Amino acid sequence: MSKANDPITMLSLLYQFPTWLQRLYPGVLWRMNTEAKVVYLTFDDGPIPECTPQILDILAQHDVRATFFMVAENAVRHPHLLERVRNEGHAVGNHTYHHMRGCKHSLADYINDVEMANQVLDTPLFRPPHGRMTSCQKRALREQGYTICLWDVLTHDYNPNYSVEHMMKVIQRFVRNGSIITCHDSIKSKDRTLLLLPQLIQYLKNQGYEFATL
């Protein structure tokens, strides 16, 4: 199959916004500006006992650090997992208190939810749930000193229609220097994420990439 006709190429926006499109959404961190072979693994929606410990085990086995964008109500329920993430050298990001979808809430409610989460998580890194929020919400959070982190490569590990083999093809196709790669530590994704993660790390290490936190 030629590259132009294969499904990953035709649907490439699902996995990566090209650089010119990323530039149309300023004030957001899509990718780290670096010439070095460094990538940034991120995990959204945890921490939860059903898979965050296993993810941490895999990261430890491979001596890899990552960034966990936590839903603060999960961190409150499982404080030992927040502590373990920090103790093992990973970074913590804010993913709101209640996994709030920006466009469904007023500016005041949204900012309040993020601030409540910050009381628990204490971090300037913020990722909006579903990757979306209103421009007013974005502006307000930036004015408060948050770095709005989206991603360069989305694995779709939460999507049961995608096999691990498919996700590895996405990684092979789209990862580049400075890529922020998004995975999840959630019930919905855990079976695929736990299978994907060792393969993803091994592949990227073989390609000469190092892993860092945001």
Applying CB under 5 A, the residues found at the interface with Zn ion are 44-45, 129
Cβ burial, residue 61 (10 Å; 0-12/13-18/19+): exposed
Nearest-approach distance from CB 130 to Zn ion, in angstroms: 7
| Residue 44 or 152 having the CB closest to Zn ion | 44
| Residue 98 or 173 having the CB closest to Zn ion | 98
Nearest-approach distance from CB 95 to Zn ion, in angstroms: 6
Known catalytic residue at 185:
no
| Residue 16 or 44 having the CB closest to Zn ion | 44
Choosing from 62, 184, 185, 191, which is the catalytic residue? Answer: 184
| Residue 155 or 209 having the CB closest to Zn ion | 155
Residues 6+ apart with CB under 8 A from 198: 58, 61, 62
Nearest-approach distance from CB 99 to Zn ion, in angstroms: 6
Nearest-approach distance from CB 71 to Zn ion, in angstroms: 7
Take residue 90 and report the two structure tokens written for it.
Answer: 């990973």
Known catalytic residue at 191:
no
Choosing from 6, 44, 62, 185, which is the catalytic residue? Answer: 44
Which long-range contacts (C-beta less than 8 Å, at least 24 apart) are formed by 8-17?
Answer: 8/166, 8/169, 8/170, 8/173, 9/173, 12/173, 12/174, 14/154, 14/156, 15/153, 15/154, 15/156, 15/170, 15/173, 15/174, 16/152, 16/153, 16/154, 16/174
Active site residues: 44, 184
